[in-house]
Amino acid sequence: DTGVSQDPRHKITKRGQNVTFRCDPISEHNRLYWYRQTLGQGPEFLTYFQNEAQLEKSRLLSDRFSAERPKGSFSTLEIQRTEQGDSAMYLCASSWDRESPLHFGNGTRLTVT
Amino acid sequence: DAKTTQPNSMESNEEEPVHLPCNHSTISGTDYIHWYRQLPSQGPEYVIHGLTSNVNNRMASLAIAEDRKSSTLILHRATLRDAAVYYCILTSYNTDKLIFGTGTRLQVFP
């Protein structure tokens, strides 16, 4: 069990560029979650997957955001046409099932200049 | 999901017990009480959870009021590494995600 891995740890991009983040969950965890966190706030739910199916998306997830989990293992979160308001920590978490605790990665910090 | 109320911040000295309160007056009978904490520059980590009875694990104890409208996370001997933001979260039987508030920032002094 190597924990939830996120890549990259930091990303600086210019406004208008596209960015993609990757999350590798704990092996055999069926559920995978994406959260966003800004300074001084708790993590905000974005979306989650049960295996490869995306079951819920927050209203925070505008049409510029898309997430995939193609084979039910790793997941990617893409932000198109980034805006300065997208600057945040993007956290990924995984769990075995709904009742199991979430295991979080250490996040990808995005800075949009 | 029912909401929780936590103090914004608390302080403790090293080696002393810490009692972190959480109010959840609108909790329903099937809501679980979860605690997570977030150390600086890390993602949140699970601490403990319970339904009605008090719970103990290697990290902490969870004391749940008899009417379940409040709970307390107890760190028996605070260390500097316990300095973190602690989140109290309720989940119901049909909850598919955790909804975080702003938590309690715990400072531990040597």
Nearest chain B Cα distance for residue A48, angstroms: 8
Residue B95 predicted with pLDDT over 60:
yes
**What local confidence, expressed as pLDDT, does residue A1 receive?**
54
**What local confidence, expressed as pLDDT, does residue B2 receive?**
63
SS3 state at A84: helix
Interface residues of chain B, partner chain A, Cβ below 8 Å: 34, 36, 41-46, 49, 85, 87, 95-103
Residue B87 predicted with pLDDT over 80:
yes
CB contact under 8 A, B100 and A101: no
B45, B49, B97 ranked by CB distance to A48: nearest: B97
**What local confidence, expressed as pLDDT, does residue A107 receive?**
97
**What local confidence, expressed as pLDDT, does residue B109 receive?**
97
Backbone angles phi, psi at B65, to 5 degrees: -60, 155
The mean pLDDT value for B46-72 works out to 95
Q: Around Cβ B80, how many Cβ atoms within 10 Å? A: 10
Nearest chain B Cα distance for residue A93, angstroms: 9
Residue B100 predicted with pLDDT over 70:
yes
CB contact under 8 A, B43 and A105: yes
Contact assessment for residue B3 and residue B22, using Cβ atoms and an 8 Å cutoff: no
pLDDT single digits (tens) B26-38 = 998 889 999 999 9
| Residues in chain A, pLDDT under 50 | none
Residue whose tokens read 């004391």: B63
Distance of CA B85 to the CA centre of its chain: 9
Q: Within a 13 Å sphere around the CA of A100, how many CA atoms are in the beta-carbon half? A: 15
B41, B45, B96 ranked by CB distance to A48: nearest: B96
Dmax over CA atoms of chain B, in Å, equals 43
The confidence band for B94, taking pLDDT boundaries of 50, 70 and 90, is: confident
The runs of H, that is alpha helices, within chain B are none
Residue B1 predicted with pLDDT over 80:
no
**What local confidence, expressed as pLDDT, does residue A14 receive?**
98
